[in-house]
Amino acid sequence: MYRLSFRFLSNPQYLALLKEGAVNTVIITFFCLIFGFMIGLVIALFRQSRNQVLRFFGAFWVDFLRNTPFLVQLFFFYYGLPQLGIDTNPLVTSIIALSINVSAGNCEVIRAGLMAVKKSYYECAAALGFGPLQTIRYVVLPISLRVAFKPLVNNFVNLVLTTSVCFSITVVDMMGASKIINGRVDRPFEIYLLLLVSYCCLTFLISTISKIVDKKIAITL
């Protein structure tokens, strides 16, 4: 009968490796959250623009990224760009590729929020003497981002889970650290069970915090 054994956790070397993996996962997630949101916001504004070129670019950006696998995008940046003389770092490349990938989903969520803003809000802003940029900054964005908050959190959770793909370009994230340790101790059941629980706890924490924040910022249009 199979016996569970987590003795590898008592090894300082493996604990240090797990800590490194957790830190790298947090780093990737943090920067991708910021950059992915910022890029998604810009592309969403492009898609709502009256300029046909900007609208076309925004639509192409979203369709291209959503219809190609993230793993292929990641390999393109990591293995393809060096052929053009561009040096790549595994951690930096992961952040760039994943930020671009997640921006497509964020764009559509933010765009839905922008479309949810009623015409009357624009009219009120115009009555107050707001210009186009002031209307977007002080009226449209605060409302649309509150409306889009829940879907954005879902994208954030998916972002955390997608970071596990980055081990494929030698990033030592939680997945990468787990594979290294399993290669040395050969305890796949225990190691990947621990990994599953770690991701579950992390995403549960994010979901719990987001529910609290959502109650604070909820609005009725």
Mean pLDDT calculated for residue range 124-137:
83
- What is the reported pLDDT for 125? 82
- Spatial distance between the Cα atoms of 68 and 182, rounded to a whole number of angstroms: 31
Residue 193 lies in a domain: yes
Q: Is 155 within 8 Å of 105 (Cβ atoms)? A: yes
- What is the reported pLDDT for 61? 97
Mean pLDDT score of the chain: 92
pLDDT of 220 higher than 70: no
Q: What share of the chain is helix, strand, coil (3-state, %, to 5)?
A: 85, 0, 15
**Among 106, 88, 82, CA closest to 32:** 106
- What is the reported pLDDT for 135? 85
Q: Give residue 106's domain range.
A: 11-116+144-217
Report DSSP state, residue 10. G
Residue 82 lies in a domain: yes
Domain count, the chain: 1
Residue 201 lies in a domain: yes
Q: Is 36 within 8 Å of 94 (Cβ atoms)? A: no
For residue 198, give the CATH number of its domain. Answer: 1.10.3720.10
